[in-house]
Structure 1
Amino acid sequence: MEFILYSSTSSERSRCVEWALNYKNIDYQRIEIEPDEQMSSYLRINPFASLPTLGADGFYIKEPLAILEYLEEVFPSKPLLGRNVFDRTYIRQICEYVITTIQAPMRRSVIKMLYEDMSEEQLVEYRRNWVSECLVKLKSQLCNQSDFMVSYYFSLADIFLAVTYQQGQLLGINPLPFYERHQQWLDQIPRISSSEPTKLAR
């Protein structure tokens, strides 16, 4: 089966899918979608213009969670969605929170639609405050018995939150010790750190 990932280095959602593909050792061709392509030629592949999209033998899968659920079904080794029903539910809950509560309101197009007169400086401040506030709120819901976000093993929850925290670092949020320790822990595990796409921030 041939896979093509239509992605962008500036897209957190794309980075989450790339990390999962790499971790599962799935061969794929990566195509970088530039901003001008996203609203023109890319619409033939994904009419929603959202990133990423995974092409699988001519079949296009859109939206990160749909892509990741598909990969879990087709490539069950190295599972990333949990090993029991409770963990799977909790991991999905965290990923949904990241996509809908943290990432969606930070999209430039959404902010500009709601706040037309917002300057670039105000936009960055809004995004910085939002991601920091959401990560602080989420901390109480995460695992305190291990260095992973859910249970005692690496999962999509770790990927989504590591990528989100890196994005927050780019925006200039104040360091959050819990998430700093989590990133340092992942960096120490070769099979995890070697599969991570190039880091956005340090």
Structure 2
Amino acid sequence: MTAEEQLPTDTAGPAGRADLDWLLANVHQAIDELDFYNDEFKAFEKQRVSANFVRALFDYDPHHLLVLRKNGERAGFMISGPDNGVVFLYWSYILPRFRNSKLAIVGNNFFKQYFDNGNWHKLSTFTRSDNRTALIILKRFGWTEVARLEKHIFGEDYMIFEIATEKTIPGYKPFIVQGRFGRLKQNLKRIFSKK
């Protein structure tokens, strides 16, 4: 076997600092292009998933920003966040030209294996009730439908899906998105800790 044959072509792993701008640009592009969401939701979601939010997730745990790669090239992402002992998967997206790959399987498996680490009660996500593709994919990858939420976000119906995990490690690490002053303080700490 050659070295090329031994390397997996579809991979998933935590973002590096150099991936953050790419992630932000691509999640905003995904929000804009998905026709399941109304304009109010798109505007709100792009404001919520800001550069500050992405940096806060990276600082909390880069595994909340998974980068999916095809032959080393960034091809998709999964963005999640901690929520009181639950990992909530906000966005999962594969760039159109990479959709004929195993990236969805690889990403989902990596996500489930990494976060089933004793720190979380469950993994959770939701999708619009009329997003048939997402509903099929979630069920196929082991997510269980647990509830239908009528008129949940901007008056639209959503379905909640979960994967049970077992929390064995006591305590909860809070997730805080810093304001400007907090980010300045954090950057100064980072600068001075390098010396």
**Fold conserved between structures, TM > 0.5:** no
Higher relative contact order (CA 8 A, sep 6+): 1
Considering fraction of residues, name the structure with more strand.
2
TM-score (norm 1): 0.30
Considering fraction of residues, name the structure with more helix.
1
TM-score (norm 2): 0.31
